[in-house]
């Protein structure tokens, strides 16, 4: 009898420490209202992601969301990093890419466009090139413009801004070798502010919010270029919400979250918040176009 009891204990320990195949049993302690996670976000959207996290944590004081800001290609690599719960970027995965993540990490993948952003063009205050067509933008990017202007990006490769310009603007043409890359978007702003020949390309969330003290200080150092409207030749528009919404401003892109979570945890709670009422209002206040709520444009007239 003692022998049977001992063998039963040994077998119980063995079966208790093993699972079928090579899968490991993982336990999660986080919930939508409690816990700590790490997310990976495109550096171009640092101001808006910081604002989203700040409000979410203030409303849920038992949560902590660590954001790692990186070039977009590194964020995509993080999709296969088991410790990264969410990616925020401008890429939406194909069905094949979703299956690859699911098969590799055995998690549920959800992705959703939550806002529409624009690539803003900035110049030095001394510059007279404040009205540009898309043809002129291409010439600046390829180094064939009539003036020796130098394009400046938040990095020369791997960033969402560079990828957008290559794929959607240049469409196969090469960027001039004279182009310069800065480490961050605010570095682009500072470089343009100090170099009259520089033309910067950054996400509008860095300079669109006129209620933000830091962004107001940026707007004193640079000027935002108006681009020829996509629907009215000869009319030039700024990357403001109405023009982003209608895509009248030619360089717009969607902001997408990709959530990979095998349970209803803090990542799910944050994702629901981003797509919900408060998150969408934060996008609106940051002068991006909310992607999950209706946007109403009302005609207005001014009387002098």
pLDDT tens digits, 164-173 = 999 999 998 9
99 has pLDDT over 50: yes
| Predicted pLDDT of residue 298 | 61
| Predicted pLDDT of residue 29 | 87
| Predicted pLDDT of residue 184 | 87
Identify the band that residue 209 occupies on the pLDDT scale cut at 50, 70 and 90: low
Q: Domains for the chain: give ranges and CATH numbers.
A: 30-116+254-290 (3.40.190.10), 117-252 (3.40.190.10)
What average pLDDT does the structure give for the chain? Answer: 87
16 has pLDDT over 90: no
Least confident of 27-31, 215-219, 289-293: 215-219
- State the pTM of this model: 0.82
Per-residue pLDDT averaged across 55-81, rounded?
A: 95
Residue with the bigger pLDDT between 5 and 237: it is 237
Please give the Cα distance from 256 to 87 (Å, whole number): 8
Q: What percent of the chain has pLDDT over 90?
A: 71
Per-residue pLDDT averaged across 57-72, rounded?
A: 96
Least confident of 7-11, 114-118, 162-166, 221-225: 7-11
Per-residue pLDDT averaged across 122-150, rounded?
A: 97
């Amino acid at each position: 009898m003692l022998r049977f009891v001992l063998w039963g204990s040994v077998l119980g320990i063995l079966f208790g420490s093993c699972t079928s195949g090579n899968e490991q049993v993982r336990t999660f302690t986080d919930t939508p209202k409690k816990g700590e996670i790490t997310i990976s976000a495109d550096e171009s959207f640092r101001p808006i992601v910081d604002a989203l996290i700040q409000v979410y944590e203030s409303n849920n004081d038992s949560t902590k969301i660590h954001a790692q800001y990186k070039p977009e290609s590194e964020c995509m690599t993080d999709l296969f990093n088991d410790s990264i719960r969410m990616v925020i970027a401008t890429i939406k995965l194909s069905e094949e890419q979703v299956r690859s993540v699911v098969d590799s990490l055995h998690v549920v993948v959800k992705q959703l466009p939550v806002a529409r952003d624009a690539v803003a063009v900035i110049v030095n205050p001394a510059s007279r090139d404040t009205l540009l067509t898309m043809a002129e933008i291409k010439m600046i990017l390829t180094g064939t413009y009539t003036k020796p202007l130098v394009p400046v990006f938040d990095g020369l490769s791997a960033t969402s801004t560079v990828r957008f310009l290559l794929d959607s603007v240049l469409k196969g043409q090469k960027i001039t070798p004279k182009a310069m890359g800065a480490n961050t978007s605010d570095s682009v702003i500072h470089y343009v502010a100090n170099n009259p020949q520089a033309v910067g390309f950054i996400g509008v969330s860095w300079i669109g919010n006129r209620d933000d003290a830091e962004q107001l200080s940026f707007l004193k150092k640079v000027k935002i270029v108006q681009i020829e409207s996509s629907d009215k030749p000869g009319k030039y528009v700024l990357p403001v919400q109405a023009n982003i919404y209608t895509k009248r401003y030619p360089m717009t892109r969607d902001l997408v979250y990709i959530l990979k979570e095998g349970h209803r945890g803090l990542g799910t709670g944050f994702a629901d918040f981003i797509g919900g009422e408060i998150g969408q209002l934060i996008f609106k206040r940051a002068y991006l176009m909310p992607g999950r709520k209706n946007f109403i444009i009302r005609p207005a007239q001014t009387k002098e």
